[in-house]
A and B are shown apart, each in its own frame.
Chain A
Amino acid sequence: QVTLKESGPVLVKPTETLTLTCTVSGFSLSNARMGVSWIRQPPGKALEWLAHIFSNDEKSYSTSLKSRLTISKDTSKSQVVLTMTNMDPVDTATYYCARIRSSWYYYYFDYWGQGTLVTVSS
């Protein structure tokens, strides 16, 4: 059974750095053609993809947020970590991690975590 679970602070202050951890089970972060993405959703708004990392350590970032994001993985711990610097109240959102699959260059998110709400406020 594939599961993903996000963990991290529920409240951060403006200008601080957010660190979120996604712990996965039911698959390995070394599986070919699989990886983990981070996606966020501000309250009442649409989904926004942030970053992903694949088993071969290939990484990709949102164009608009690239300068603020870093994604990494610890395969032995089955964890993927996302850091986002210089947090602002507009970054208040539910942050999801999701498994990303690639099949013949098609990429899709087939399993999702439950999400964690992060509020940015002083």
Chain B
Amino acid sequence: DIQMTQSPSSLSASVGDRVTITCRASQSISSYLNWYQQKPGKAPKLLIYAASSLQSGVPSRFSGSGSGTDFTLTISSLQPEDFATYYCQQSYSTLIFGPGTKVDIK
């Protein structure tokens, strides 16, 4: 199976900060990469699919980029409601999630 890693595993940031989360695949997955946001006690929410396509209803401050093995999720200006854990997930082969990145308040 393709393995997914995320960095950092956690970060502290302030409202208004620009935040970047990285996801790396153990082999090329083209652009078969999705991003999800999960808040405590809640189901995950799809943010980005196909590496850079914004899911309907998701604020434009979220963006995704990358292809091959390296991907990034960027939040251009962190809002209070963005404090959550973020997961990447590849769909190139057997569906695998990354270990997650927790974003908390500085």
A-to-B contact residues, CB < 8 Å: 37, 46-49, 52, 60, 62-63, 96, 98, 103-110, 112-115
Contact = CB atoms under 8 A, between A and B. Distances in A.
Given A96-B43, A112-B43, A106 B91 contact: yes
Nearest to A52: B95
Contacts of A103: 49-50
Interface residues of B, number: 23
Contact of B32 (A52, A63, A106, A112): A106
B94 interface: yes
Contacts, number: 60
Interface string B9-41: 000000000000000000000011010101000
Nearest to A4: B43
A76 B50 CA distance: 32
A46 B100 contact: yes
Interface of B: 1, 31-32, 34, 36, 38, 43-46, 49-50, 55, 87, 89, 91, 94-100
A108 B95 CA distance: 9
Contacts of B46: 108-110
A104 B99 CA distance: 26
A74 to B, nearest CB: 23
A116 B46 CA distance: 19
